[in-house]
Amino acid sequence: MKFLTTIFFATILVVAFSTFGGVAQGDPIPILHFTFDSAVGNTVPDMVGGNDGTLDLAEIISDPVQVGKGALQIENENASMIVENFPDLAADQDHTYAFWLYLTAGSNDAWSQVIARKSDASDRFPGVWINPGGTGLHYRYNAGNMGFSRIGPGGEGNDFPLNEWFHIACAKEGENLTMYIGGVEEGTVAVPAAHDAVEGSIFYIGLTGYRAATFIIDDLAVYDSALTEAEIVKIMSGVGTAVSPKGKLAATWASIKY
């Protein structure tokens, strides 16, 4: 009877997770995911693998937000959130970075960092800034400093308006980098097939060796593959978002099997 009861509850969990967990079978699951709904002290939980972020002069706010009940505000030019290197990040070459962005100030007359994955050897795989002369995204990779120069809604050469939410997703597959803004493809450019200095890389939001841009960011996820446009639209719409960690079902199973 105990065995049958265990099987029954395990079956219920599988059905419930598949139906209500936000992630259907076959949906992409990120290697890193921050909802920014809360922080414990200066620690922001990663919803996937426990690779939490550490805040420095940045804060979780409740308004404005785009998804859930919180977002990360980078207001001070020295503000940041840092995620230390972990195996899935170190092994990553092709990937997709997806997040909601809300710029609250203009160009700052400087290269101003939004996000970056960097090491001592390289500061861009990718590195994302707003330009000194505008608010378009400078989205680049080493080796070769390749990628978008100043992309915004409508494509290269365009800027983002202030105080408005935009969904950004950039998918790298081999030598191609494709930018989606609001679920719409805005362009594809050449990048290095293998970006350099991956080992020992750290993920940053805000301050690096460059000052931080002034912005709010919400629901950031990193995937270890290039997502399709259809997958990106689902994520932007909140369907198929991996709000549950990879290990959630296993942890729940462990809690009921005895």
pLDDT of residue 23: 53
Kindly report the CATH number assigned to the domain that includes residue 194: 2.60.120.200
131-155: pLDDT as tens digits: 999 999 999 999 899 999 999 999 9
Per-residue pLDDT, averaged over 205-221, amounts to 97
Structural Rg of the chain based on CA atoms? 19
Long-range contacts of 38-42 (CB under 8 A, 24+ apart): 38/69, 38/70
pLDDT of residue 197: 53
| Count of domains forming the chain | 2
pLDDT of residue 4: 47
The answer to which of 56-60, 172-176, 249-253 has the lowest mean pLDDT is 249-253
> Which pTM does this prediction carry?
0.84
* Helices (H) then strands (E): counts for the chain: 4, 17
Question: Looking at the structure, do residues 10 and 127 belong to the same domain, yes or no?
Answer: no
CB environment 169-207: b (16+ within 10 A), e (fewer): bbbbbeeebbbbbeeeebeebebbeebebbeebebbbbb
Question: Looking at the structure, do residues 255 and 154 belong to the same domain, yes or no?
Answer: no
Question: Looking at the structure, do residues 236 and 248 belong to the same domain, yes or no?
Answer: no
Question: Looking at the structure, do residues 130 and 258 belong to the same domain, yes or no?
Answer: no
Q: How many residues does the chain have?
A: 258
69-107: pLDDT as tens digits: 999 999 999 999 999 999 888 777 899 999 999 999 998
Per-residue pLDDT, averaged over 195-206, amounts to 79
**Interatomic CA distance for residues 104 and 126, integer angstroms:** 22
Range of the domain at 248: 1-21+243-258
Question: Looking at the structure, do residues 168 and 101 belong to the same domain, yes or no?
Answer: yes
Question: Looking at the structure, do residues 1 and 72 belong to the same domain, yes or no?
Answer: no
Cβ atoms of residues 100 and 165 within 8 Å: yes
Q: Is the pLDDT of residue 8 over 60?
A: no
Question: Looking at the structure, do residues 8 and 133 belong to the same domain, yes or no?
Answer: no
Question: Looking at the structure, do residues 200 and 256 belong to the same domain, yes or no?
Answer: no
